[in-house]
């Protein structure tokens, strides 16, 4: 029996950057009755609040919920009626400038020019710099068809890796590339969660849609967690239902 169930967010609990559907919110509330729950993803806290925290039904036991923005370099818990940061590991200004310059050079070198963009393409999330190929506000239908096999982002990722030694560069969501400190990935974040929560890694189960080499969920498998790969939120609902049935 697992004591903590950890989830990726985009593509697993919800469509890219979209709020949880009501059915998923209810399913998580049911799951919180039998286990602690964590959500780890590349988005910053405002995105987590929009997608997850504000979408849970009143009955959900928020005390058992661990929210981990920016690939786990931040941790939020709900205490005394409000969400608060437990920790946050931030880039300094010099590191940020170096990363932003590398993005500019890499996009020019790889010749990547999207036909259309929606909003800013590079976002400073404090502990993570994120490149969204089609822009932060791109519609889901455009995201889904842009790079479904990760081929386009692998080219940019390879170029950035040569320009930013000592940093972690991972593909996330449907169109994103996330840059964090060296060694920072979901495996790192889940180890930090084990320290903060008191739950050992073997007491956790991780569920995500990108559990494959090069996918940003794969580090969870690499650190030895039991994992379940899902295709989409609908399959996640089925997995959650099975877990609840087994835990009760």
Assign 3-state DSSP to the chain and report helix, strand, coil percentages, each to 5.
40, 25, 35
* Domain spans of the chain, in order of start: 4-89+184-247, 93-181
Average pLDDT over residues 230-234: 97
Q: Is 36 a catalytic residue?
A: no
| pLDDT of the residue at 111 | 87
Is 8 assigned a ligand-binding role in the annotation? Answer: yes
Confidence check: pLDDT of 112 > 90: no
241 is in an annotated binding site: no
- Which tens digit of pLDDT belongs to each residue from 125-144? 888 899 998 998 999 899 98
The tokens describing 18, both together, are 């979209």
Provide φ and ψ at 242, rounded to 5°. Answer: -65, -40
Question: Is it the case that residue 173 has pLDDT exceeding 80?
Answer: no
Q: pLDDT averaged over the chain?
A: 93
Q: Which residue is catalytic, options 10, 147, 159, 185?
A: 10
Sequence-distant (≥ 6) Cβ neighbours of residue 164 within 8 angstroms: 98, 99, 102, 179
Using the 8-state DSSP alphabet, how is residue 176 labeled?
E
pLDDT in tens, 46-98: 999 999 999 999 999 999 999 999 999 999 999 999 999 999 988 999 999 99
Task: Establish whether 149 is an annotated binding residue.
Answer: no
Residue owning tokens 């009955």: 59
Fold of 4-89+184-247: Rossmann fold (3.40.50)
54 is in an annotated binding site: no
The two structure tokens encoding residue 37: 């729950």
| Whole-number pLDDT of residue 7 | 98
Containing H/E element for 74?
Answer: strand 74-79
Q: Mark whether 217 is an active-site residue.
A: no
Residue 64 marked ligand-binding: no
Report pLDDT for 132: 92
* Dmax (CA) of the chain: 55
Establish whether 59 is an annotated binding residue: no
Q: Which position among 8, 36, 147, 185 bears the catalytic label?
A: 8
Structure tokens at 190: 């889940």
Model confidence at 164, pLDDT cuts 50, 70, 90, reads very high
The arithmetic mean of pLDDT across residues 197-226, rounded, is 95
Question: Which top CATH class is 93-181?
Answer: alpha beta
- Cα–chain center distance at 35: 20
pLDDT at 107: 87
CA distances from 5 to 141, 225, 233, 243 (A): 29, 11, 15, 9
């Amino acid at each position: 029996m697992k004591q903590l169930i950890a989830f990726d967010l985009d593509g697993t609990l919800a469509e890219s950057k979209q709020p949880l559907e009501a059915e998923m919110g209810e399913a998580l509330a049911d799951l919180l009755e039998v286990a602690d729950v964590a959500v780890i993803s590349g988005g910053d806290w405002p995105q987590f609040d929009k997608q997850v925290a504000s979408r849970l039904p009143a009955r959900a036991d928020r005390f058992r919920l661990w929210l981990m923005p920016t690939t786990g370099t931040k941790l939020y818990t709900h205490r005394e009626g409000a969400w608060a940061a437990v920790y946050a590991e931030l880039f300094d200004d010099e590191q940020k400038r170096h990363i932003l310059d590398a993005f500019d050079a890499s996009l020019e070198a790889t010749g990547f020019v999207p036909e259309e963009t929606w909003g800013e393409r590079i976002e400073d999330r404090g502990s993570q710099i994120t490149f969204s190929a089609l822009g932060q506000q791109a519609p889901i239908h455009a995201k889904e068809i842009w790079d479904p096999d990760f081929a386009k982002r692998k080219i940019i990722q390879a170029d950035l890796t040569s320009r930013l030694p000592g940093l972690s560069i991972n593909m996330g969501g449907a169109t994103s590339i996330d840059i964090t400190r060296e060694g920072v990935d979901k495996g790192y974040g889940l180890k930090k969660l084990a320290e903060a929560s008191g739950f050992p890694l073997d007491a956790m189960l991780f569920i995500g849609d990108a559990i494959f080499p090069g996918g940003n969920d794969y580090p969870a498998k690499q650190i030895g967690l039991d994992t379940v790969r899902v295709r989409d939120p609908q399959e996640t609902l089925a997995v959650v239902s099975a877990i609840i049935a087994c835990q009760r």
